[in-house]
Chain A
Amino acid sequence: MNARIVAVYGNLVVAETDGRVVQNSVAHCVHSNGTRLLSEVIRVRGQLADLQVFEETRGLKIGDPVELQDEMLSVVLAPGLLGQIYDGLQNPLPEVAKEAGFFLKPGLYIHGVSTTQSWEFAPKAAVGDTVEAGDTLGTVPEGIFTHRIMVPFGWQGAFKVEKIAGTGSYKVADEIAVLVDSDGNRRTATMQQNWPVKRPLDVSRRRLLPDEPMVTRVRIIDSMFPIVRGGTYCIPGPFGAGKTVLQQITARNADVDIVIIAACGERAGEIVETLRDFPELTDPRTGRSLMERTIIIANTSAMPVAAREASVYTAATLGEYYRQMGLNVLMLADSTSRWAQAMRELSGRLEEIPGEEAFPAYLESRIAAFYERAGILELRDGTKGSLTIGGTVSPAGGNFEEPVTQGTLKVVGAFHGLSRARSDARRYPAIDPLDSWSKYRGIIEPADMAKMRKVLVHGNEVQQMMTVVGEEGTSIEDFTAALKADFFDNCYLQQNAFDDVDGASPAERQQFAFAKVAEVAGLDFDFQDKAEARRKMVEVTDLFRNWNYAPTDSDEYRRLLSEIDKFIATKGRDS
């Protein structure tokens, strides 16, 4: 006990000390009932330390003791992280429930991985080898993955392996290697290590330029606004437009090894959905339960605000850890606006000079630094690992001209902007095809996509014009162009997330369907009149819609395909 509380403002506590205080180090505020509340030093003024407390501060008093420590806020990295459900500070929620029942309990902290579970260790390094931070000492199987046990990332310099555990069963805290540095100091490595969450974890030869598409099975994303492994993207949208649903389907279908879901200040119910669904769902790539490749960080909106701020960093750190094993990781944060608001609340309590909409001046640099944690690395052993980050943004009033959206757009590689008009019209996913963009290359030839984009843009222009001059003032060519754009939208860009088949479209099927859609859009129809044009386009739309619902290569699929081909061959004139 080396400090005492002198002020309490909500979750901000000021402590006075006569000792040393380390910025961003961890502290515990000790409640008179004995509970120790985890906190972080966020400002030092002379002998005063400002602490953000990761719990409700109810009952704290002036004069209550504070224990300042030297360590930064950290997470434990070890086998056993996959399949876990954590709060923002890496407390395993099922374990918390075992101890505390229905409700969360302030001051109850549980180690992030099981200390009693045994893992089958196989050594990869040998006595006498020279190793550095991040090098593999051995491996353990974690579900379907080979989990590398690495020299702790924070250890500096080269080490000689003096002792290494043999093949066998070990717990995370057991010694598995003894390493000696150049000065002859011995250090014991176990299967677990800590890493401070706010410091990016990157032990690699170099960063590579991300260019492999990360297929999500959402057509409008993979084909039009693609994401790549190691890239970044954001999904801003008003409430109810479909951000969370989009992330949920991405978490299910994304072509990556590991998915980390950070539910940051959103609804607890949505987590429950994932929690109950994922163990039942199979990973399309491995046939195993989806939960085996997933980690959930749930810091929902009713949980303490400061922990919300920490939760995205916790998630990023776990993602970076698996990237160090040569795996492809996707981290999804829902919603980064809540994280930004947590910063705003704290900044207000610290009485910092507010910027736009009372967000702190450093908002943009924090956002940029967060997305910078994504990337594809060439690791020290030559293998590649990637961390892709996708964040939702919840702009006030649905207006993208606000600090969090704007700050995010400056740094991400793809922008999936959801539109209220599309979600109201139930045109899901409500990604606006005219406003959104991606700097990455996807699974469709850019030239082919450019053509379809033109169809959309032109169709939209005609639509706009028609609202002024009416259908009667529109030529049949223009009218057909508008119908074609609508057809492309209906049959390709829209997708029913709740249908087993249509909900997830594999890359090859997308490419094939895209070619068919493009063929129809490219047809030089010679409709007699607008009524015929509408009738024919309704007909072909209906064919494609049903085709989208038909399982690949089923009879239904083939039958509809041949009808579509017939339509194309005859320009719809045979019926």
Chain B
Amino acid sequence: MRKYFDSIRRIAGNVVTVNASDVGYDELAVIDSAHGDSFAQVIRLEGQQVSLQVFAGSQGVSNNDRVRFLHRPMQAPFSEDLLGRVLDGSGRPRDGRGEVTGEMIDLGSPPVNPVKRHMPDKMVHTGIPMIDVFNSLVESQKIPIFSVAGEPYNELLARIGLQANADIIILGGMGLRHDDYLKFRQTFEDGGVLGRAILFIHTAADPVVECLLVPDLCLAVGEQFALQGKRVLVLLSDMTAFSDSLKEISIVMEQIPSNRGYPGDLYTQLAKRYEKAVDFEGAGSMTVLACVTMPGDDVTHPVPDNTGYITEGQFYLRNGRIEPFGSLSRLKQQVNGKTRGDHRAIMDACIQLYALCRESREKRDMGFEMSAWDRKLLKYGNLFEQRIMDLSVNIPLFDALDRCWSILAECFEPAETGIRRSIVEEHWPASGNGAETEPAQEEEPAVAGS
């Protein structure tokens, strides 16, 4: 027999408080209201009073409605039937097809025992030199794209999703614009991967609480596939929208904010999700790639800041390029020692020189005279941006390394690169100039005369 509780005491924000008994913390409830059923989750127990976070929002909930408790936490259906499907933030179909059936799995499983994790050691090739050469992506890595509104971060996410060659791709959309959702769908369809993709979509028009559930749904389902030995890639966009939903709820719950209105446990909340990225010893893996838009292009904003402290690096997407500064793959050293002997040396040298080039540019912009060395650096910087950094470049790793050598040889004497002699001897292109097949299109006037 179903037991209902009908004394709703308070409705505020998305939180409803009801008097009830025999209720477990974190369990799921259903509110029966005029608009139909809506799911809610227990977020506080205080004597008789049970506080519920209502997934669809408390709009339209009345103090006469009835609440029923399900005595289980939030769950997701898990089966092969999920492939190719589009669901919402409560796990309901949004593609007009029927309910997904399958084994029900709890969201928010306990953490993986560190001793059962496999050390990440498989490089994911993306064809993007700024990733493959300078910040290699590794299977089971968790890494965000830091960006601002207007940058093509969703396109980049989708492109990596296609090129990464995963068994299963799970897209979690949070606060996604409907157009962006359609674009993702289109890209997956055109790329022929829709049949092994699962989309959990919350759009900007959907209830805020459902946004909070999207990562948990993606990660719970992904984890199950990984346990079955699959290589899963989870794409999350945008984690800033997720964090803002957290902020909204915590303010309603009258928690003391720690930093710009965000709750003190923002780090823990984000970490719980990102840390689901895993390479299981003896089973599959789950790689997590997320978008984080930085309000005001400020990396010290609590969302990118806390994210950076959790993830295994970050890619900065700015002006349509992945920036070499600030971008970092912390797992790169697990794989880039095994690709080619010159990989690490090229990686370090190219970035150090590009940093110097930036200094020279600053000097130039302030009107200072350019030394011969400055001119070399300026030339290098331009070539590097055109032939390596540009996002349209799509070449395999070894070609990218060769291309870097030829740029260096076009601009510098070997000792100026700071690369160890033994490596220079092996890889320095035979003729200093013109080794690059693709000609430099245009150079700045300051360089032309050098």
Contacts and interface: CB of A to CB of B under 8 A. Distances in A.
Contact of A341 (B264, B331, B337): B264
A268 B258 contact: no
A301 interface: yes
A404 to B, nearest CB: 12
A273 interface: yes
B3 to A, nearest CB: 14
A348 B308 contact: no
A163 B325 CA distance: 68
Interface in A104-130: 104-106
Nearest to A425: B355
A2 B300 CA distance: 48
Interface in A261-307: 265, 267-269, 271-273, 275-276, 298, 300-303, 305
A395 to B, nearest CB: 9
A103 interface: yes
Given A345-B268, A354-B256, A57 B25 contact: yes
A341 B113 contact: no
B113 A96 contact: yes
A58 B73 contact: yes
B45 A62 contact: yes
B264 A358 contact: yes
Contacts of B271: 265, 301-302
Interface in A393-442: 394, 396-399, 424-426
B373 A534 contact: yes
A102 interface: yes
B259 interface: yes
Contact of B27 (A59, A425, A426, A545): A59
Contacts of A467: 362-363, 366
Interface in A212-240: 238-240
A89 to B, nearest CB: 14
Nearest to A530: B371
A254 B23 CA distance: 52
Given A61-B23, A62-B47, A267 B310 contact: yes
A396 B47 contact: no
Q: Which of B115, B328, B366 has the most A CB atoms < 10 Å from its CB?
A: B115
Interface in B139-169: 140
A273 B119 contact: yes
Interface stretch (B92-100, B398-406, B412-420): B412-420
Contacts of A85: 114-115
A273 B113 CA distance: 14
A105 B114 contact: no
A357 to B, nearest CB: 6
B47 A357 contact: no
Nearest to B283: A102
A181 interface: no
B23 A7 contact: no
A9 B314 CA distance: 34
A433 to B, nearest CB: 18
Given A61-B22, A62-B45, A471 B368 contact: yes
B267 A546 contact: no
Given A103-B111, A396-B302, A62 B369 contact: no
Contacts of B257: 358
Contact of A94 (B115, B258, B264, B328): B115
Interface stretch (B125-133, B233-241, B344-352): B344-352
Contacts of A104: 110-113
Interface string B280-305: 10010000000000000000111001
Nearest to A92: B115
Interface in A53-106: 56-63, 85, 93-94, 96-97, 100-106
Nearest to A344: B264
A512 interface: no
B192 interface: no
B227 interface: yes
A361 interface: no
A6 interface: yes
A357 B258 contact: yes
Interface residues of B, number: 79
B255 A348 contact: yes
B330 interface: yes
B355 to A, nearest CB: 5
Given A7-B46, A302-B275, A62 B21 contact: yes
Contacts of B259: 357-358, 396
Contact of A59 (B21, B24, B305, B363): B24
Size band of the interface chain A makes with B: 35 or more
B257 to A, nearest CB: 7
B226 to A, nearest CB: 10
Contact of A268 (B117, B267, B326, B362): B117
Nearest to B23: A61
Contacts of A105: 110
B432 interface: no
B44 A9 contact: yes
A29 to B, nearest CB: 10
Contacts of A426: 348, 351-352, 355
Contacts of A305: 265, 268
B25 A471 contact: no
A345 B262 CA distance: 12
A531 B300 CA distance: 40
B64 to A, nearest CB: 24
A269 B117 contact: yes
Contact of A100 (B113, B352, B367): B113
Contacts of B26: 56-59
Interface in A281-336: 298, 300-303, 305
A538 interface: yes
Nearest to A14: B46
Contacts of B318: none
B229 interface: no
Interface in A353-394: 354, 357-359, 394
Nearest to A394: B309
Given A240-B330, A269-B312, A344-B264, A275 B302 contact: no
Contacts of B366: 467, 470
A425 B259 CA distance: 29
Given A60-B25, A102-B116, A345-B265, A531 B371 contact: yes
Interface of B: 21-27, 44-48, 73, 108-120, 140, 227, 255-259, 264-265, 267-268, 271-272, 275-276, 280, 283, 300-302, 305, 308-310, 312-314, 325-326, 328, 330-331, 333, 337, 344, 348, 351-352, 355, 362-363, 366-369, 371-373, 415-416, 418, 420-421
> Which 10 A-B residue pairings sit nearest by Cβ, starting from the closest?
A397-B300, A470-B368, A301-B271, A302-B275, A239-B308, A358-B258, A58-B26, A302-B111, A59-B24, A8-B45
